Amino acid sequence: MAPSGPGRVRRRCRRVLYWIPVVFIGLLLGWSYYAYAVQLCIVSMENIGEQVVCLIAYHLLFAMFVWSYWKTIFTLPMNPSKEFHLSYAEKELLEREPRGEAHQEILRRAAKDLPIYTRTMSGAIRYCDRCQLIKPDRCHHCSVCDKCILKMDHHCPWVNNCVGFSNYKFFLLFLAYSLLYCLFIAATDLQYFIKFWTNGLPDTQAKFHIMFLFFAAAMFSVSLSSLFGYHCWLVSKNKSTLEAFRSPVFRHGTDKNGFSLGFSKNMRQVFGDEKKYWLLPVFSSLGDGCSFPTCLVNQDPEQPSTPAGLNPASKNPENHQFPAKPLRDSQSHLLTDSQSWTESSTNAGKDKAGLSNPALTMENET
């Protein structure tokens, strides 16, 4: 049924309102450029060498700030691939059958070959009624975008976009360069800010730009430093903002460090293997966003225990303590030298890959 006229108008109005924070940042950035480059560097600085150095450094930070901000805003969030969507026949079966064992059987068949290891808090398969798909690991439904977003971190109003797998690196660089931008302005503007209060500046409009420029840069530096520090901690632990508030649930239970592979590998998962791209807002993250290597340390309660001193993988390749499904090629190399993934277990995993997921129950999530 087609949406009504008033409903369509309300949605369009909301879309326009969502851009207000972005427009505010854009206007603030434009004013800061005029205040620093023109009123401070060109009008107020008397030393030519100081002018040149400050303008070159400023424009470098300004360019990286704008570039990373642009990429964060206009990089579309990635959605689950077709393999996670239910087929037309499966959708019809779900609608036709009463909720219960029939639904569970349909989802069991649909999820048995998918690389998913996380569950809901009740241990059920993570299924989205809105998108009619089985959620990949670390995927969540965004109520603002009305879509399931791969490795969703949060929906950020300051970029009017979901921050997730496709643009999380850009978001981190945006925080880093905006923080450096503010710190650089505050540091180079400080001596002129002091002159303002000691009447050392000529009585022109430049001194008011200098004063407000320092206040704005100092205040944003404080807030950005805390936010950037928090996200650096998240990267070091291989967590998203959502996972920091609610730990992911695996078959064996909740594990707050289930996706952590160690500091170095956690960094590489976000920034990539080639360090020359780390500081540039170009996509270099590892993987496809649908599957992630895990480092589970707890024995699966559904699998039989193994006597001490025996390697469960060497005895029976199906009794892994880690997920039995194969990782994507772009992710699996992160675990080649991990202590939790022994060489014998890896070889056994190559011999026996693609095991079916156990019987799962369904829980509706939106």
- Locate the domains of the chain by residue range: 15-75+164-277, 82-156
CA atoms within 13 A on the CB side of 138: 29
Respond yes or no: is residue 156 known to be catalytic.
Answer: yes
Runs of H (alpha helix) within 119-274: 168-197, 206-237, 241-245, 263-271
Which among 123, 122, 126, 146 has a CA at the least distance from the CA of 134?
A: 126
- pTM (two decimals): 0.80
Name the active-site residue from 128, 139, 156, 162.
156
- DSSP lists the bridge partners of residue 365 as 128
- The pLDDT confidence band at residue 5, using thresholds 50, 70 and 90, is low
pLDDT(73) > 90 = yes
pLDDT at residue 335, as a whole number:
52
pLDDT at 90: 82
Closest CA to 170 of 22, 285, 265: 285
Give pairs for 225-229: CB < 8 Å, separation 24+.
225/179, 227/175, 228/172, 228/175, 228/176, 228/179
* Residues 122-138: b if buried by 16+ CB within 10 A, e if exposed: eebbbbbeebebbbbbb
**What was the pLDDT predicted at 91?**
82
pLDDT of residue 322: 35
> How confident is the model over 307-332, as pLDDT tens digits?
333 343 333 333 333 343 444 544 54
pLDDT value at position 11? 82
CB-based contact 118:138 (threshold 8 Å):
yes
pLDDT of res. 100:
67
Judged against a pLDDT cut of 50, whether residue 270 lies above it is answered with yes
For range 122-135, the mean pLDDT: 87
pLDDT digits 0-9 by tens, 225-247: 999 999 999 999 999 999 999 99
Quote the mean pLDDT of the chain.
81
Sequence-distant (6+) residues with CB within 8 A of 239 are 256, 259, 260
Please determine, for residue 88, whether its predicted confidence score (pLDDT) is greater than 90: no
Lowest mean pLDDT among 59-68, 233-242, 293-302: 293-302
Query: How does pLDDT run across 30-43, given as a tens digit for each residue?
Result: 999 999 999 999 99
Q: Express as a percent the part of the chain with pLDDT over 70.
A: 78
Q: For residue 239, what pLDDT is reported?
A: 96
